[in-house]
């Protein structure tokens, strides 16, 4: 029989082997760790201490940086360029460290900390507003406090009125606005230091407070010989280009195809009807692949005027963005078009082919293949047969699409919207209170007057809006003090609180005056509607009259 005990290794020998192998492995691993630590460890460098650095530069007369050119620059280095003061001119020796890419936040913060290391955290020291660290601190502050705003472009901060203040300007847009248009702001910030001696914003003033960063355009005026030219600020928004396009030559005019509408029954009607009809005409021109001949002169209906009479001669550009319209639709201004037409007729024997269309019942589909240079729709029939929008009715509506994307509100009015919103720091709620003629018409709106009374509004808002919030009231109520009851609960803002924005010293006033051949224009009722509506849309919480304040239907009884 086989001896089992002799064929099996003793347990003790196996244990000893395992222990010896583990021990040797631990020893080798410990030696490896110690070796790595010995190679990589460096004692604290006294140059990292801001106090030591300050002491060295104040006690050593000829200390300079020596740039190590053997070090290859990599991605994390592009945010900083170190220049040897010894190699630079004496006047530039104290220049701040240059930043080549302000978007690389990590390297920017490193530079900021390095520059702060030379000055310590002395709150009384002069803040270097041109340091990129200041700009990064302001950017972080803005992103944190103004969440409804998209910041697009910053200018380098400049000195404010005291040693720890910096003014900076930027371009921005509102998140709720679909357009690409940019607006401007410039504010004053009080700069301090964080725990790591980095810059931080410790206070900020309000909208357009950073006047040193405004930098308006200037132009020299003609002066007598020997006198210095006076510099006057320009009030024109650099980003608005609503000049009238010109064809420029007879050949350009003759090679075009045009759709021309005469005045119809829409003229001097309310603005909603004007827009509905205008976009119908623009849509037909697009469908026919023609340039639309556009009359920039608008007749403003009496409901929007202080005289309570229809007022002709209003410029389209007062209310809508002509620059955007030019970029998104093929248009030519009527006065220029008629000049070119008249010049052609004078200089050429061949007449321009024109097709006159007397009724809207001639559909766009019937005109699709017409080869005439000008299709001239003439609306001479009595109302309502002479409304432009009739062209888009019935079957034509399946072919014509109104280009709503081409019609934006005036940038000048939208600048006022941004001013009002900015003065409330983009942190406000709003209530839309419709009164006027509707509140007096008990037959159509039996409860509207009572439901929009001050007490009723207060009761409704207290369950929706937190007390002492900024509350913007968009309304057609003519009596300013009508909403005084709300002031016991909220910080109330009305459009008339911002009259300076369209007063005779405002940018809007000067810009529209240029458009109107040097004549001032009133801030009329439709402009008020546009501004009120856009401010309302930018509120964080919005309360509407119909369906919120009252159960009456928006268009009267039985229209809900």
Q: Token pair of 335, please?
A: 């006065």
In a 3-state reduction of DSSP, which class is residue 319? coil
Q: Strand pairing of 199-204 and 218-220?
A: unpaired
Output the six-digit token pair for 127.
């803040």
Phi and psi of 232, rounded to 5°?
Answer: -120, 140
Task: Give the Cα separation of 411 and 414 in Å (integer).
Answer: 5
Cα→Cα distances 549→59, 284, 331, 458, 534, Å: 74, 40, 43, 10, 20
Q: Where are the domains of the chain?
A: 75-213, 250-406, 411-543
pLDDT at 420: 96
Tokens matching residue 467? 């007390």
| Tens digits of residue pLDDT in 463-492 | 899 999 999 999 999 999 999 999 999 999
CA end-to-end distance (rounded Å), the chain: 106
Contact indicator for 353, 257 with CB cutoff of 8 Å: no
Per-residue pLDDT, 113: 46
pTM of this prediction exceeds 0.95 = no
Q: Residue 154: what pLDDT?
A: 93
The closest alpha carbon to 403, from 299, 326, 318, belongs to: 326
Strand order in the sheet with 258-261: 331-333, 291-294, 258-261, 374-377, 354-357
Nearest Cα residue to 435 out of 523, 552, 538, 527: 552
Helix (H) or strand (E) holding 513: helix 507-515
C-alpha closest to that of 560 among 548, 542, 546, 549? 546
User: What is the gyration radius of the CA atoms in the chain, in angstroms?
Assistant: 36
Task: Please give the CATH number for the structural domain made up of 250-406.
Answer: 3.40.50
Compute the distance between CA of residue 467 and CA of residue 398 in angstroms, rounded to an integer.
50
Cα separation, 40 vs 278, whole angstroms: 76
How many angstroms separate the CA atoms of 492 and 217, rounded? 35
CA neighbor of 277 nearest in space, from 163, 177, 393, 374: 393
52, 72 Cβ separation under 8 angstroms: no
**What local confidence, expressed as pLDDT, does residue 61 receive?**
35
The span from the CA of 295 to the CA of 405, in Å, is: 20
Say if residues 272 and 282 touch (Cβ distance below 8 Å): no
Structural tokens at position 24: 């040797």
Peptide bond into 173 cis (omega under 30): no
Residues of the chain with confidence (pLDDT) below 70? 1-15, 18, 31, 34-125, 215-238
Per-residue pLDDT of 544-558, as tens digits, reads: 999 899 999 998 988
Number of H helices, E strands in the chain: 15, 18
Q: Please name every residue paired with 297 in a beta bridge, in sequence order, or none if there are none.
A: 315
């Amino acid at each position: 029989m086989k001896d089992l005990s002799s064929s099996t290794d003793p347990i003790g020998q196996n244990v000893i082997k395992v222990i010896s192998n583990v021990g040797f492995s631990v020893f080798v691993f410990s030696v490896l760790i110690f070796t790595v630590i010995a190679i990589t460890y460096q004692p604290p460098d006294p140059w990292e201490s801001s106090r030591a650095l300050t002491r060295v530069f104040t006690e050593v007369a000829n200390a300079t940086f020596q740039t190590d050119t053997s070090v290859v620059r990599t991605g994390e280095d592009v945010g900083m360029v170190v220049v040897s003061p010894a190699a630079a001119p004496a006047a530039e020796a104290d220049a701040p460290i240059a930043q080549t890419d302000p978007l690389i936040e990590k390297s920017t913060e490193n530079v900021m900390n390095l520059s702060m290391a030379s000055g310590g955290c002395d709150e009384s020291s002069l803040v270097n507003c041109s340091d990129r660290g200041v700009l990064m601190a302001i950017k972080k502050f803005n992103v944190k406090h103004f969440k409804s705003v998209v910041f697009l472009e910053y200018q380098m901060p400049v000195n404010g009125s005291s040693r720890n203040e910096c003014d900076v300007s930027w371009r921005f847009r509102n998140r709720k606005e679909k357009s690409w248009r940019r607006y401007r702001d410039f504010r004053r910030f009080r700069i301090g230091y964080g725990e790591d001696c980095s810059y931080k914003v410790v206070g900020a003033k309000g909208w357009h407070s950073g006047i040193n960063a405004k930098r308006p355009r200037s132009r020299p005026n003609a002066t007598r010989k020997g006198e210095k030219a006076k510099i006057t600020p320009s009030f024109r928004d650099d980003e608005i280009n609503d000049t009238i396009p010109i064809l420029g030559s007879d050949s350009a005019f003759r090679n075009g195809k045009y759709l021309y509408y005469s005045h119809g029954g829409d003229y001097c009607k309310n603005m909603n009807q004007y827009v509905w009809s205008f976009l119908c005409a623009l849509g037909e021109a697009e469908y026919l692949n023609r340039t639309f001949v556009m009359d920039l002169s608008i007749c403003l209906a009496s409901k929007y005027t202080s005289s309570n009479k229809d007022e002709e001669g209003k410029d389209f550009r007062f209310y809508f963005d002509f620059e955007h319209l030019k970029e998104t639709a093929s248009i030519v201004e009527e006065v220029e078009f008629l000049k070119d037409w008249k010049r052609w007729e004078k200089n050429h024997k061949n007449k321009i082919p024109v097709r006159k269309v007397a009724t809207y019942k001639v559909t766009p589909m019937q005109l699709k293949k017409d080869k005439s240079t000008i299709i001239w729709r003439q609306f001479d029939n009595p109302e309502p047969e002479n409304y432009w929008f009739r062209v888009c009715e019935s079957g034509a509506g399946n072919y014509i699409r109104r280009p709503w994307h081409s019609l934006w509100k005036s940038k000048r009015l939208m600048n006022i919207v941004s001013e009002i919103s900015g003065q409330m720091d983009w942190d406000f709620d709003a209530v839309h209170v419709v009164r006027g003629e509707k509140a007096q018409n008990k037959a159509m709106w039996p409860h509207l007057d009572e439901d929009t009374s001050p007490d009723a509004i207060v009761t409704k808002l207290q369950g929706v809006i937190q007390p002492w919030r900024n509350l913007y009231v968009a309304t057609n109520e003519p009596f300013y003090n009508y909403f005084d009851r709300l002031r016991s609960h909220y910080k109330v803002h009305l459009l008339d609180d911002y009259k300076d924005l369209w007063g005779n010293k405002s940018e809007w006033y000067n810009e529209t005056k240029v458009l109107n051949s040097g004549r001032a224009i009133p801030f009329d009722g439709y402009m008020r509607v546009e501004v009120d509506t856009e401010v309302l849309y930018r509120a964080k919480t919005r309360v509407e009259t119909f369906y919120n304040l009252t159960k009456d239907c928006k268009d009267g009884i039985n229209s809900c």
